[in-house]
Amino acid sequence: MIRMALDAARGLEFVHAQGRVHRDMKSLNLLVDGNFSVKVADFGESRDLAPQIMTKGIGTYLWMAPEVMNQQEYTSAADIFSMGVVLWELFMRILPDRKPDHISKGIMPPLPAECPKDYRRIVSMCCDPKPTKRPSSQILAGLLTEYYKTITEVALTTVQNAVKAEVEEEKPKPPPIGPRPVSTRVGSAVFTSSTQSEAMSIKTRSSSMNKPFLAPPAGASPGSRSSPTSPLSNSGGAGPRPLPPQKGGSVRVKPTAERPVLSEDKFV
């Protein structure tokens, strides 16, 4: 729609650059091809710009500027008012309902609230009741060019974001990453645990299982044994500390001759 409006504005700019006034600018005189490109047509009412000798009240009522309707002198600004009516048509897709008293006062039907504010501003500038406040065809073409670039960039960004979001949704999601396994070597065996604390626990248990049994010191009863961490009953090495008496009698350490005993001097 905006590109069609821009084509019409550029065609009108070319007409005015030749020093002529179209005088019957309306949607019925705009030709559209298969690519929706617009060409300005019907120059039967066009004249060289000479306000003093131009016919008053020429044109089509629905697209007529108020100064033309009121039989006053007019310039190329009358074509700009008619172009504003065409812009109103492009957005509304209907012919404007303009009564004769509205035409003579330059009153246009309002655009709906959903109309973009930039487009609404351009229409209002073209349809200003005072001819001197309307933009020239060159300025109008420039305004529509900038507006066309803006909406094109916004549309392109919107499409790119939509495609990117769709691609992200289709990507396979990686599995959740858990804690890295910890390997612990104990002798020739390797234990794998999920956390460092479990690895330390395995190492501690293995260490305690591999502690050697030491031979009892001299003078101790045969078959008795102690670990490097077991305290002796006295400094003289008289044997292991006896267990505390329990109810019903005492507990004695029985010799275990069948288990091999290592000598202390092997660890010196």
- Residue linked to tokens 């392109």: 156
Question: With bands split at pLDDT 50, 70 and 90, how would you rate the model's confidence at 232?
Answer: very low
pLDDT at 208: 56
- How far apart (Å, rounded) are the C-alpha atoms in residues 69 and 59? 9
Would you call 33 a catalytic residue per the annotation? no
Report the run of H or E that residue 38 belongs to, with start and end. strand 38-40
Q: What is the pLDDT of residue 165?
A: 77
Q: Is the pLDDT of residue 180 over 50?
A: yes
Indicate the range of 30-39, 81-90, 150-159, 198-207 predicted with least confidence.
Answer: 198-207
Catalytic residue selected from 7, 24, 79, 128:
24
Written as one letter, the residue type at 169 is E
- pLDDT at 181 (0 to 100): 61
pTM, entire model: 0.60
- Terminal C-alpha separation, the chain: 100
For the segment 246-260, the average pLDDT, to the nearest whole number, is 54
Give residue 261's pLDDT. Answer: 53
Q: Which two tokens stand for residue 163?
A: 């495609």
Q: How far is CA 53 from the centre of its chain?
A: 61
Q: Write down the residue that tokens 């009522």 correspond to.
A: 61
